[in-house]
Every structure is written in structure tokens, then in C-alpha cells.
Amino acid sequence: MSELSKKIGDLLDAEDLDSASALVERARNEDPLSAENWVLQSQLALKLKNTHDAMNAVQHALRLSPDFPPAQYQMAYVLRAQSDVEGALDWYAKAFAGHPVLADSLGWCRVMVLVFAKYALALPIAEYWTIYRPDEAAGWFMYGTCRLAMQQKASAQLLQAWSLDSSILDLPNNLGGAYLLEGDLVQAEYWLRVALERQPDDENTRANLDLLRRRQSRIE
């Protein structure tokens, strides 16, 4: 990132949009083939609530450099501003795959998991958080939840989340489901009872309990 680009970024963060606008225009005039400059133009337009110009600018940036991560991330933000959240998630995941960042990625991960059930997209983001922010319970919870949904062992990740923050509402049910998947019916029953106490009317907990009872009856 050039010194001029950094200065523009600082002005955008400070909401000094008039000064930012003058510098963006200068940057584009100096190097109209720079994808970075067109991303800055898109960021400025988004700050000004002009999503049409923001989209045009980021599309131009991607035409100049299709694999430029800042342009891919910016496309996600523009699509989100245009209420195309699902499309935004796809672009965010694509950008993250090529250039992972912490920033607000866990928020995107939550939406992928809790709203759209896009577990495969969310999994790399959640795993990244467990590596670089191992003290964040939410990262472990998202990681374990993604693994569970994809039929992978998840009890270790979810237990780590529990050790950091036992107040996460769906943790006991997910732990019960994880132990069901792993075939440990004793632990599954323990965690599902905890889940039932916490959310007595939760359909997912009751479905897991029904599955547990069927498996126990086969053993008996």
C-alpha cells in the first residue's frame, strides 16, 4: 500500500470524506490502471451511501486485477450494502481464502453459520480464529459447529468453547450432538440434559434426545 493510499484510508476512517475525495481523484489521475485506486474509489462511494458508484468502481478494480484481495473484500461489502447478503458471503469467503484476515471476519462467519448455514464457507474462518485468537470462545464455538454440521468430530472444539464461555446458548445441545456423532452416548446424554434445562422447548435439543433414545434402545 502506497503512502497516498494509506492517507486516503485514514481519511475514510476519520469520515473526512471531502479530503478523501480529493486524494482519491488525484490517485486515479496519477494511475488509472491501479486496482487499489479503484477500490479506494468504491470505499469512498460506499461511505457516501452511493452503492451504484461503489459497485461500478469495484467491478472496474476486479476487471483490472481479478485476484486482488482488497477488491474481492470490497465486493462483499458493496453487495451487503445492496442487501445481497448471500452474494456478499460468497465474495467474502473467496477473498478470505486468498488473503485471510481477522478484522471483522468472525462477524461474517456468524452470519454464514447462524443465518445461511454455509458451514463449508465458514469453516476456514472459524479455524483461523482458533489459531490466532485462541482465547475467543466464539471462534471455537463456530469452528465446532461447522465441523459438527459437516459430520466431523467436534467435541474437542466445543469443549474448548465451553471452558472459555459456558453461557453460549446452544453449546450444550451442540456438544450433545457432537458426542452422538462420535458414539459416546453417556456424554451425549449428559450434555443434552444440560441443554434441556437451558432450553426446554428447543426443537433441536428434543430431536437430538429422540435420536439418543433410539440409539440407546438398540443397545438394550
Is residue 30 within 8 Å of 38, Cβ to Cβ?
no
pLDDT of residue 5: 85
Strands (E), 88-212: none
Is residue 105 within 8 Å of 91, Cβ to Cβ?
no
- Which region among 17-31, 52-66, 98-112 has the lowest average model confidence (pLDDT)? 17-31
| C-alpha span between 170 and 13 (Å, rounded) | 36
What pLDDT, in 10s, does the model give residues 63-120? 999 999 999 999 999 999 999 999 999 999 999 999 999 999 999 999 999 999 999 9
**C-alpha grid cell for residue 33?**
490502471
Mean pLDDT, residues 30-51: 95
| C-alpha span between 94 and 63 (Å, rounded) | 16
**Residue 157 binned pLDDT confidence (cut-offs 50, 70, 90):** very high
| C-alpha span between 66 and 58 (Å, rounded) | 10
Residues 6 or more apart whose CB falls under 8 angstroms from that of 147 comprise: 123, 153, 154, 157
pLDDT of residue 136: 97
| C-alpha span between 182 and 144 (Å, rounded) | 13
**Helix 119-132 to helix 85-98 angle, to the nearest 10 degrees?**
50
**C-alpha grid cell for residue 41?**
474509489
Asked whether residue 2 carries a pLDDT value surpassing 80, the answer given is no
What pLDDT, in 10s, does the model give residues 120-148? 999 999 999 999 999 999 999 999 999 99
| Domain 1-99 in CATH 1.25.40.10 | yes
Work out the number of other CB atoms within 10 angstroms of the CB of residue 35.
21
Maximum Cα interatomic distance, the chain, rounded to a whole number of Å: 78
Number of residues in the chain: 220
What pLDDT, in 10s, does the model give residues 158-184? 999 999 999 999 999 999 999 999 999
Asked whether residue 220 carries a pLDDT value surpassing 80, the answer given is no
Is residue 139 within 8 Å of 133, Cβ to Cβ?
yes
**C-alpha grid cell for residue 35?**
486496482
**Per-domain residue ranges for the chain?**
1-99
